[in-house]
Amino acid sequence: MPLYDARGKRNRALIIGVSRYQDPRLHDLDAVFANPDELGRVLCAPATDLFLPQEVTPLRPDTPEELTAALRTAAHEARGLLLVYFSGHGRVRRDGSDLHLLVGSSRVAQDERRVASHEAVSWAKDVLPRLERSRADRVVVVLECCFAGNADDSFRTHEKPVSLLMAAQPNRRIFSGTEPGGGTVFTRAVLDILEHGIEGKECVTFEDLAGELRRRLAGHTTPQGGAWVPRASKQNTVDDVVVSFATRELRPATPFAVRARRWWRSRPRRRLRVLTAAAVALALGATALVLVDRLRPPGSCPPAQELRLLTAPETEPTLRAAALAYEMSDLNTEPVPGEDDVPDGCRRTQITVYSAAKDQVAQGFAAADRWQGEAEGADEAPPGGSGGEATEPLYRPGPQPDLWVPESTVDYLQVRQGMAAHAPATLHRTGPVAFTPLVVGVPAARGLSEVEQAGSSWHAILDDAADRKLRLLRPSPALSGIGLMHTIGLYLADDGAPVGPDSGAPRTEVAERAESRLRAPGSQYAGSAELLCSLRPGASAADAASSGAEPDGVGARATAAPLVTEKSLADANLGHAVGNCPALATVPEKDDRYEAYYPAGVPGLDHPLIRVAWQGAADADRRRAASERFADWLRRPDGGQKVITAAGYRGVNADGRAAPPPTGSPLRDSRAGVLPDVGVEQYTAGQQRVAQVLAAYDTAHRPGQLLFLLDTSTSMADGGRIAEAADAVGRALEVLGPKDTYGLWTYPRPGTAARDRGRPVERIRAGSAGPAAGRKLLERLRRDDGGLVDQGAWMQEALTAALDRLRDSPAERTKAVVLVLDEDDGAGKRSAAAREALTDALAARPRIPVVVLATGRGGCDAAPVRHVVEGSGGNCVAGGPGAADTLAGLVASFGTGGQEAGR
């Protein structure tokens, strides 16, 4: 990716370290005291080669005003790179929102979870607006505080390119300030990287710094015992920023122009006046004219018209990059005939890109009347349902879109089928903007011996995969267009014949045969990127188990064959970011990569662009024109197609069909493991075949019976864990099919003796149907932490009771326990008999998998969680962004959620 080099420019660094606090509830951070001076020394070192001493400001603020004033000054003075570094205490609300940076005079409330906002600095309200107004070309922010990862939830800037490095993932405290020696663990690692560089790198970029910190802190844990994982995020930029020119390689010379600019700017003003007096005198008139022209403020630009683009989670990064490139393109900044109200050079359109799972999008369009009302600011949804009760609000799909790019035409057909006859939204399909074939990723060390990589039928691939003892893993058809299209291919292209209008209905024996090879309850993910992330080398035992592999290392992982897209498989093979897994420093070794097999006749994804017209829109004509301009640019070879193909997608020819990948595409890299010249089939079989495939999928699966077991001890209030848990369980309830049943239990039981703390409370009876009761209970828990029990939660005893109850229920259903907790409070306090009882319950037949959502402590790596996952053959989801959809994907594979998930 392009690199931003700020050498010789007017840069500023504001290094904030708060080590002394007046509030006795906030312990002092002795190690933080050394951070500003040490970081300032490194930033001004010749090896770093970015900042002059007068450009670096160390700050130890006592009041919020000191911090915000210094931030305002630095943001105003910077023209090149603005670096803001904060070390100190951080606090969030109970729901994990509204991160505040604490200064010396900050105070916290009695429960130590709430902060007096007027005595602290709000990340969203105080810091981000000042960064947005900065005159710097690029902004880099580093937050080293507890809950730093929660800053990503409110990380929004309209135009300013900002890169954010967070010391840890969301809802995590960190060791910061009590370490021995000068400087904190995190900052000492940053100092070493900036001062000495990274092996094999000619400089240190923002992405390099984040990746190297993740590597160096991989052996450390947070105070709760969980993995310490720094996080990185960017807004309004796809390029990378150089943060140090230190290198362990042969260092290139600093360019002469940079040295000259730096020398000029580093001289005292008196000397500058003497040296330049003659030149100024001779050229005063011309210089004055130039300066007046250069210093004149740019013309005032009106706010750009916003278009909202909804897409699938896996295509969101690529379309966001394309939208940013379009906003800066000539097409979006030149005058448009008939629209003379926007001056030349101003952006006419701003495009907001966001994503939602397939079932959530279908829910949104099915209730388009409510979706439109909320987008227009209505306070309440219109009445609906029996008895005139208010309908449930639509908060999951996001705001109403102007443009929609689903993964395939099949998703579009499903949505059209589910829309009301008089819906206030009209969908206009304008054709594809990208293609990607569907593939089977076969571990390179276990290639199929009887079939070719391209042109073999699914029937032959299934037979050979069985002989090689490969476990085929698929994204959830309920949540993922990729999973649904793979299922269509499995059922309708079993013999290799293309899927078309003349394809017959799927045969029952074909569907059952395919599902018998794919049926690994609890192994489906919400998308192919998350599935590949769980299979990446170095994934935890819980990740390996959740992907269908036994938790015994790389050998077991190499038995998993994921059904994914060509683009996502190439990303995984090349070490690019996939799902929640960040990019790797190097390309994985060959034995850790996959070979792509292309089943014959299977349609690929065509990513159609859908224009959404909403009834009653006052600016409908202008919105349509803006949408059409963007759609045209997306298909231009010198416009959006450059961004799309650079990301690993196939482009679109003038005739609307897939184009071969161009030179420079990652698909052309020999290590990508794909066949870039294999063609892409398009889906032409219509909506009826989709409905038949989903019916066959439903028939091939037994109904599910799930028991949700939720920790409601008071520790779940920390960091908004109870709200995160309620959202995730609510999302899982959405994907249960009409034949599935569930129960919802909580633990511990209030007001009981210590030996009874593991006795769960049956809030919703096991075997219940319909999600309404579950939603009401979850809403009560979500609101002000209602119903939390002020005592420890003994997980092992509660889980044993849940497993025993499910095992005693009728056997004709697929059963699972969904366990949600932050930690097991009974460790070290229970009897050996209780531990043995859980071990026996996990191993008993029939085996009942346990899916764990681990919101705190060590996450999926905590010993009690690993014991449950490995003992039951279940899996684990770590808390954080995306956890709700990931859990829903796993839950969907336990029952019949495929056909009716979008109802």
User: Nearest 5°: CA angle at 300, between 294 and 302?
Assistant: 150
> What is the distance between the alpha carbons of residues 686 and 500, in angstroms, rounded to a whole number?
8
Residues sharing a CB contact under 8 Å with residue 200, sequence separation 6 or more, in sequence order: 248, 249
Q: What is the pTM of this model?
A: 0.67
- Going by pLDDT thresholds of 50, 70 and 90, the confidence category of residue 249 is confident
Tokens 């209602």 found at: 786
- Residue 729 pLDDT > 50: yes
Q: Are 364 and 277 in contact (CB under 8 A)?
A: no
Average pLDDT score, the chain: 83
DSSP 270-338: HHHHHHHHHHHHHTHHHHHHHHHHHHSPPPPPPPPEEEEEEE-TTTHHHHHHHHHHHHTSHHHHS-BTT
Q: What pairing do the DSSP bridges indicate for beta strands 81-87 and 12-17?
A: parallel
pLDDT of residue 630: 96
Question: Positive or negative CA dihedral for 309, 311, 315, 317?
Answer: positive
Closest alpha carbon to 595 in 466, 449, 491: 449
- Please state the rounded mean pLDDT for residues 94-121: 74
Tokens 């959202």 found at: 727
- Please state the rounded mean pLDDT for residues 379-393: 37
Say whether 58 sits in a helix, a strand or coil: strand
Residues sharing a CB contact under 8 Å with residue 720, sequence separation 6 or more, in sequence order: 92, 93, 94, 95, 96, 97, 171
- Residue 29 pLDDT > 80: yes
Buried b (16+ CB within 10 A) or exposed e, 440-459: bbbbbebebeebebbebbbb
Q: Is 146 left (phi over 0), alpha (psi -120 to 50) or beta?
A: beta
Q: Are 860 and 580 in contact (CB under 8 A)?
A: no
Q: Is 618 exposed, middle or buried (0-12, 13-18, 19+ CB in 10 A)?
A: exposed
Say whether 176 sits in a helix, a strand or coil: coil
- Residue 542 pLDDT > 80: no
Say whether 439 sits in a helix, a strand or coil: strand
Q: Are 683 and 488 in contact (CB under 8 A)?
A: yes
pLDDT of residue 275: 45
Higher pLDDT, 758 or 41: 41
Segment (H or E) for 835: helix 832-843
pLDDT of residue 657: 93
pLDDT of residue 337: 76
pLDDT of residue 372: 58
Helix axes 358-366, 368-375, angle to 10 degrees: 90
pLDDT of residue 692: 92
- Going by pLDDT thresholds of 50, 70 and 90, the confidence category of residue 530 is confident
pLDDT of residue 899: 47
Higher pLDDT, 625 or 295: 625
- Going by pLDDT thresholds of 50, 70 and 90, the confidence category of residue 284 is low
CA distances from 144 to 32, 101, 141, 168, 872 (A): 10, 10, 10, 8, 38
pLDDT of residue 900: 42
pLDDT of residue 447: 83
Helix axes 687-700, 481-492, angle to 10 degrees: 90
The 3-class SS string of 90-159 reads EECCCCCCCCEEECCCCCECCCCCCECHHHEEEHHHHHHHHHHCCCCCEEEEEEECCCHHHHHHHCCCCC
Say whether 253 sits in a helix, a strand or coil: coil
DSSP code of residue 713: B
User: Among residues of the chain, what percentage have pLDDT more than 70?
Assistant: 83
Length of the chain in residues, anyone?
A: 903
Q: What pairing do the DSSP bridges indicate for beta strands 162-166 and 814-821?
A: unpaired
Per-residue pLDDT tens digits for 861-882: 888 888 999 899 888 988 877 7
- Residue 730 pLDDT > 70: yes
pLDDT of residue 856: 78
In this structure, of 19-23, 292-296, 631-635, 850-854, the range with the lowest mean pLDDT score is 292-296
The number of beta carbons lying within 10 Å of the beta carbon of residue 817 is: 25
In this structure, of 187-196, 501-510, 780-789, the range with the lowest mean pLDDT score is 780-789
- Please state the rounded mean pLDDT for residues 768-797: 81
Per-residue pLDDT tens digits for 544-556: 444 444 433 344 4
Q: What pairing do the DSSP bridges indicate for beta strands 814-821 and 704-711?
A: parallel
Provide the terminal-to-terminal Cα distance of the chain, rounded to the nearest Å: 42
Q: Is 461 left (phi over 0), alpha (psi -120 to 50) or beta?
A: alpha
- Please state the rounded mean pLDDT for residues 884-893: 88
> What is the distance between the alpha carbons of residues 834 and 852, in angstroms, rounded to a whole number?
20
pLDDT of residue 378: 36
Higher pLDDT, 903 or 527: 527
> What is the distance between the alpha carbons of residues 368 and 320, in angstroms, rounded to a whole number?
24
DSSP 346-403: S-SEEEEEEE--HHHHHHHHHTHHHHHHHHTT-SSPPB-SGGGPBPPP--SS-SPPSE
- Residue 97 pLDDT > 60: yes
- Going by pLDDT thresholds of 50, 70 and 90, the confidence category of residue 18 is very high
Buried b (16+ CB within 10 A) or exposed e, 738-757: ebbbbbbbbbbbeeeeeeeb
pLDDT of residue 113: 46
Beta pairing partners, 875: 851
The number of beta carbons lying within 10 Å of the beta carbon of residue 646 is: 17
Residues sharing a CB contact under 8 Å with residue 522, sequence separation 6 or more, in sequence order: 546, 816, 849, 851, 874, 875, 890, 891, 893, 894
Per-residue pLDDT tens digits for 161-177: 999 999 988 878 887 66
Q: What pairing do the DSSP bridges indicate for beta strands 875-878 and 850-854?
A: parallel
Say whether 846 sits in a helix, a strand or coil: coil
pLDDT of residue 222: 75
In this structure, of 8-22, 112-126, 388-402, 623-637, the range with the lowest mean pLDDT score is 388-402
- Please state the rounded mean pLDDT for residues 83-87: 97
Omega cis (within 30) before 24 = no
Per-residue pLDDT tens digits for 676-689: 999 999 999 999 99
- Please state the rounded mean pLDDT for residues 318-337: 88
Closest alpha carbon to 897 in 758, 771, 756: 771
- Residue 785 pLDDT > 90: no
Residues sharing a CB contact under 8 Å with residue 258, sequence separation 6 or more, in sequence order: 7, 8
pLDDT of residue 443: 93
Per-residue pLDDT tens digits for 437-477: 999 999 988 888 889 999 999 999 989 988 888 889 999 88
Closest alpha carbon to 701 in 743, 742, 740: 740
Helix axes 795-807, 832-843, angle to 10 degrees: 40
Higher pLDDT, 198 or 276: 198
Closest alpha carbon to 353 in 332, 323, 333: 323
Q: Are 487 and 500 in contact (CB under 8 A)?
A: no
Beta pairing partners, 852: 819, 876
- Residue 519 pLDDT > 70: no
pLDDT of residue 582: 80
Say whether 747 sits in a helix, a strand or coil: strand
Tokens 């109403």 found at: 400
If you compute the radius of gyration of the chain from its CA atoms, what whole number of angstroms results? 29
User: Among residues of the chain, what percentage have pLDDT more than 90?
Assistant: 42
Residue type, 212: E
Q: Are 685 and 499 in contact (CB under 8 A)?
A: yes
Higher pLDDT, 296 or 660: 660
- Going by pLDDT thresholds of 50, 70 and 90, the confidence category of residue 892 is confident
Q: Are 895 and 876 in contact (CB under 8 A)?
A: no
DSSP code of residue 825: T
Higher pLDDT, 816 or 171: 816
Per-residue pLDDT tens digits for 345-363: 788 898 988 888 899 899 8
pLDDT of residue 278: 47
> What is the distance between the alpha carbons of residues 424 and 393, in angstroms, rounded to a whole number?
17
> What is the distance between the alpha carbons of residues 91 and 94, in angstroms, rounded to a whole number?
10
Higher pLDDT, 739 or 180: 739
- Going by pLDDT thresholds of 50, 70 and 90, the confidence category of residue 274 is very low
